[in-house]
Amino acid sequence: MNLYQIFRDRFEAHLDQPFLISPGEAVCSYGDIDRLSACFAAALRLEDVNALDRVVVQVDKSAGAVALYLACLRIGAVYVPLNVAYTAAEVAYFLSDAAPTLFVCRPASADQLYEVARQAGVPVTRTLGTSLDGSLGHVTHKLTPSEALTERAPDDVAAMLYTSGTTGRSKGAMLTLENLASNAVTLHKYWGFRPGDVLLHALPIFHVHGLFVALHCAMLNASSVIFLPSFNTHEVRRALADATVMMGVPTFYTRLLDNEEFTREDCRNIRLFISGSAPLTEQTFTEFEQRTGHRILERYGMTETNMITSNPLDGERVAGTVGYALPGIEVRVTSDSGEPLPPGELGSVELKGPNVFTGYWRMPQKTAQEFRSDGFFITGDLGLLDQDGRLSLVGRSKDLIISGGYNIYPQEIESVIDALPGVVESAVIGVPHPDFGESVIAVVVAIKDQAVTEASIIEATALQLARFKQPRRVILVDELPRNTMGKVQKNILRDRYSA
Ligand code: MLC
Ligand code: AMP
C-alpha cells in the first residue's frame, strides 16, 4: 500500500485536468503535480530522507508545498506541517521534539531558522518558496523524477500533526496510512463528490481541514481546486462563481455574511457548503440559509481522528448539531466513570474506528490516558446523542479555546505569562468574539509596585507566541477566584469578562 498510489489511481485518467488553480499563477494539472511530486521525491532521496523519517515543513501555501507533501507519501516519509504563524521559539520546540531528518522553511525565514534548526540538531535545512524557489525548490528543476513508490503497511505513520490534545504542550499526533485513506474514501462518498465538482480552497494546508479533508477529497475525485492563499472575502466571492463545493471554518461564513453585497447570486453554482473545526452557531446557519438558500453542512473532527461525524448530504441538516457518526466509526457518550449513557444524556464524546490515530509521538503514557480499555478514544468534547444517533456538542472538558478554527491551549499561554518578571499567576480564557468565535483574554495577578501592565504583557508574549495565540486583552486583578480544592474557577472569569 502507498497512500500516494491510492490518490494517483483515482486521478490517473485525468492527468490533463487542472488540479490547483491559483489566481495569477500557472495552473497545476494532475499531470504536473504527479511530475512535480516525483521531482520532490528525488530531492528528498538526495537529502537522504528515508521511509518513516520525519520531514518538518513550515512553508506558504503553494502547489510546491502540496507536491512536497505528496513526495513524502511517495517515499513513505512522515510529513509534519507547521503553522506559518509559529515564532522561532515555537519552531525550536517542534524541531527538537520531532527530530526530523529534514526541515523545510520559507526562504524569508532562512536566516533565523537555519540556526534554530542547527541548535535543535536537525541535519539538513532547506527552503521552499511559492514559485518553486528556495534551495529545495531549485533542485527539483534539475533532478530526474523518482517515480518509485515505497511499499507501506496500513499502520505505518504517514503524517504527524502537532496538537495539544487535552492538556499541556503540543504533541505529535501520528496518523497512519489507514487513518488517512479510510477517512478520505468515506468523506468523498458521504459528501457525494461527482464529476465536474470544483472545490474552493481558502484554508491553510498545515491542518487536517485544509490538508487532508479538502485536498484528499479533491484528489480522489480528480477535481479542480481553486487554491487561494488565504481567506479574503473579496477573492472568495469572486471564486465562488466557478466552484461547486466550499469547505471552511465558521469565520469564513460569518465574514461572507458581513459583506452586504454577498447574495444568492454569488453561490449560483455551489452545491455544497461545508463547515467544521469550530462550532457553527445556529444564527450563522440560519442567516446563511436566508441569504443564499444553502443549508451549511456541519461536520465534526479532530486532528487525532480526522472526521468523526457529519450532517447528511441528502437528509436533514440540523443547526447546532454535528450529525451522525461517519460509516465505520462508532461514537458514544459516556459518564464520568466511562459508562455509555442513553440518548439525551450529556457526557464525554468517545469514538472508535479506522480513523483514530495510533498515538502521540514518543508519549505512550499520554496516549494510554486518552483511550478507554475497550479502545475508545476520549475526545475531550462534551455532547449528547439523540434517539437517531445525531450528535450535538455542548462544550469541552478540555481547557481549549478555538479562535477562527485555530486551537489555543490556555496552559501554554499561562506558562509564558507566569514566567514574566512581576507576575504571580495568570488564567487564560476564551470569550465570545464576533469574527473568530472565541478570543483570548488573560487575567493576571501581578506583584504590587512592579511595572506590569497590559501592554508589557502583550509585548512580552509577542516574542514567544504566534500572533493568533496572543491575548487580545490582559486584565490585572488582585486574585483569581478558586474553588475549595484551590482550582481556578475559569467559568467565573468567563462570566465576568465575556462582555
Ligand atoms: C489570524 N489571526 C488570528 C487568527 N487568524 N487571530 C486569532 N485567531 C485566528 N484564527 C490574527 C492575524 O495574525 C492578525 O493579527 C489578526 O488576527 C487579523 O488577521 P486577519 O487578516 O483578519 O486574519 P486572516 O488572515 O483573515 O485569518 C483568519 C482566518 C484564519 C479565520 C481566515 O485564521 C484561518 O484560515 N483559519 C482556519 C484555521 C483552520 O484551518 N483550522 C482547521 C484546524 S483542523 P494582527 O497582527 O493584524 O492583529 C481541526 C480539525 C477539524 O480543527 O475538525 O477540522
Ligand atoms: P484540533 O485539535 O485542532 O483538531 O481541533 C479539534 C477540536 O475542534 C474538537 O475536539 C472540537 O472541540 C472542535 N471542533 C471541530 N469541529 C467542530 C464542530 N463542527 N463543532 C464544534 N467543535 C468542533
Q: Are the beta carbons of 60 and 130 closer than 8 angstroms?
A: yes
Task: Give the DSSP per-residue string, 14-47.
Answer: GTTSEEEE-TTS--EEHHHHHHHHHHHHHHHHHT
pLDDT score of 164:
77
Write out pLDDT tens, residues 30-57.
999 999 999 999 999 999 999 999 999 9
Q: Which residues are 348's β-sheet partners? A: 334, 382
- Indicate whether residue 292 lines ligand 2 (CB < 6 A): no
Residue 210 domain flag = no
How many whole angstroms from 313 Cα to the centroid of ligand 2?
A: 20
Kindly indicate the confidence band of residue 438, based on its pLDDT and cuts at 50, 70 and 90: very high
Write out pLDDT tens, residues 330-343.
999 999 989 999 99
**Average pLDDT, stretch 314-318?**
97
Residue 79 domain flag = yes
* Residue 366 in this model has a pLDDT that exceeds 80: yes
How many whole angstroms from 282 Cα to the centroid of ligand 1?
A: 21
- Indicate whether residue 322 lines ligand 2 (CB < 6 A): yes
- Indicate whether residue 381 lines ligand 2 (CB < 6 A): yes
Kindly indicate the confidence band of residue 152, based on its pLDDT and cuts at 50, 70 and 90: very high
Site to substitute for ligand 2 among 275, 302, 355, 370, most atoms within 8 A of C-beta = 302
How many whole angstroms from 310 Cα to the centroid of ligand 2?
A: 12
Question: Starting from the edge strand earliest in sequence, which strands make up the sheet with 330-334, in order?
Answer: 330-334, 347-352, 377-385, 391-396
- Indicate whether residue 472 lines ligand 1 (CB < 6 A): no
* Residue 276 in this model has a pLDDT that exceeds 60: yes
* Residue 132 in this model has a pLDDT that exceeds 90: yes
* Residue 283 in this model has a pLDDT that exceeds 80: yes
- Indicate whether residue 207 lines ligand 1 (CB < 6 A): yes
- Indicate whether residue 162 lines ligand 1 (CB < 6 A): no
Domain count, the chain: 2
Return the SS3 of 284: helix
Residue 382 domain flag = no
Percent of the chain past pLDDT 70, that is, above it, reads 99
Residue 176 domain flag = no
Percent of the chain past pLDDT 90, that is, above it, reads 94
pLDDT score of 449:
82
Residue 238 domain flag = no
Instruction: Read off the DSSP letter of residue 397.
Output: S
Q: Which residues lie below 8 Å from residue 279, measured CB to CB, with a gap of 6+?
A: 250, 393, 402, 437
Write out pLDDT tens, residues 253-264.
999 999 999 999
The residue assigned the cell 448530504 is: 313
Residue 371 domain flag = no
**Average pLDDT, stretch 269-293?**
98
**Average pLDDT, stretch 403-407?**
95
CATH code, domain carrying 63:
3.40.50.12780
How many whole angstroms from 406 Cα to the centroid of ligand 2?
A: 9
pLDDT score of 141:
86
CB-side exposure of 370: number of CA atoms within 13 Å?
Answer: 26
Domain boundary among 122, 152, 182: 152
- Indicate whether residue 308 lines ligand 2 (CB < 6 A): no
CA dist 229 and 22 (Å) reads 8
How many whole angstroms from 427 Cα to the centroid of ligand 2?
A: 22
Query: Closest-lying ligand to the alpha carbon of 207?
Result: 1
Write out pLDDT tens, residues 52-76.
999 999 999 999 999 999 999 999 9
Kindly indicate the confidence band of residue 450, based on its pLDDT and cuts at 50, 70 and 90: confident
pLDDT averaged over the chain?
Answer: 96
* Residue 165 in this model has a pLDDT that exceeds 60: no
Residue 304 domain flag = no
pLDDT score of 469:
96
Residue 138 domain flag = yes
How many whole angstroms from 234 Cα to the centroid of ligand 2?
A: 27
The residue whose CA is least distant from atom 50 of ligand 1 is 302
How many whole angstroms from 148 Cα to the centroid of ligand 1?
A: 38
**Average pLDDT, stretch 411-440?**
95
**Average pLDDT, stretch 97-105?**
98
Q: Which domain holds residue 475?
A: 401-496
CA dist 66 and 78 (Å) reads 14
**Average pLDDT, stretch 443-467?**
93
**Average pLDDT, stretch 233-262?**
98
Domain boundary among 126, 152, 178: 152
CATH code, domain carrying 471:
3.30.300.30
Kindly indicate the confidence band of residue 398, based on its pLDDT and cuts at 50, 70 and 90: confident
CA dist 332 and 391 (Å) reads 9
Kindly indicate the confidence band of residue 287, based on its pLDDT and cuts at 50, 70 and 90: very high
Domain boundary among 101, 126, 152: 152
